[in-house]
Amino acid sequence: MKMHGLGNDFVVIDRRQGGAPVTAALARAVGDRRRGVGFDQLAVIEGDPDVAARLTFFNADGSISGACGNATRCIARYLMDETGQSGLSLRTDRGILTCEDAGNGLTRVNMGQPLMKWDQIPLGKDVDTLHLPIEGDPVACSMGNPHCTFFVNDAEAVEIEREGAAIERHPLFPEKTNVQFAHLIGDNHLRMRVWERGVGVTLASGSSSCAAAVAAARRGLTGQQVQIDLDGGRIAIDWREDGVWMTGPTAHVFDGVFSPEAM
């Protein structure tokens, strides 16, 4: 299946009934936008005895992504439509995530609490995660993936291809990092652009949106309920006592079958 959340696009392979295993090499081949299908992340659905399904995520370069909020919302919507349920739980490397129908075609997922200690993110050394020793004074946390958030005067003006690529591989991040550039455009309202590790520039990112909202609240720029305008559209983040909830639209674009040659 091809799906997207705010233009953050995915190939989703449903292996609940079995099928060929998904490898890093297969993910890279399918992720080629000219010779494959193309995606920001590939998501694999597998059976789980305790929750609705187990999800595994690959980036376009074949690396594993610990979390993918928009893909989780898309798959939650797919499974809720399939079963008629208004809520369910999904297992990911991030943990078990609660998903709900938010009404008006929107889907809500609890992405869990942010990890803010240097060794949880992880960083290469013990530093203040609210003020990293990197030019631009960014904030770090983990939402299942490492995140580095810069608050800038104008996110539109950032040379994201150059700056995002450089920060992704900064030596302070031994597992690389997602990078967000954001500025405040109103009360509890951010404009943000995203560079995802293992992918590049994306139109949206759910975990990055959660990380930016957490960073803005920690810095005192916003409260804990934030709207974020991404290149692909708007998402709502609500940092509650039980975790960071993300609400937004989803789209199921088409279903497909791989040819024997492609496999």
Rounded CA gap, 165 and 49, in Å? 40
Average confidence (pLDDT) over 73-96: 96
Question: Any idea which of 18-27, 44-53, 146-155, 161-170 has the lowest mean pLDDT?
Answer: 18-27
CA end-to-end span of the chain: 16
CB 201 within 8 A of CB 171: no
Rounded CA gap, 242 and 166, in Å? 34
Rounded CA gap, 30 and 194, in Å? 22
pLDDT tens-place string over residues 125-143? 999 999 999 999 999 999 9
Longest dimension (CA), the chain: 54
Of 81, 144, 145, 143, whose CA–CA distance to 107 is shortest? 81
Q: Dig out the tokens for 143 from the structure.
A: 């939402």
- Taken in order of first residue, the domains within the chain and their CATH numbers are 2-111+248-254 (3.10.310.10), 139-241 (3.10.310.10)
Rounded CA gap, 239 and 227, in Å? 12
Rounded CA gap, 90 and 233, in Å? 25
pLDDT tens-place string over residues 96-136? 999 999 999 999 999 999 999 999 999 999 999 999 999 99
For tokens 């631009």, the residue is: 136
Percent of the chain with pLDDT over 70: 100
pLDDT above 90: residue 20: no
Predicted TM-score of the model (pTM): 0.95
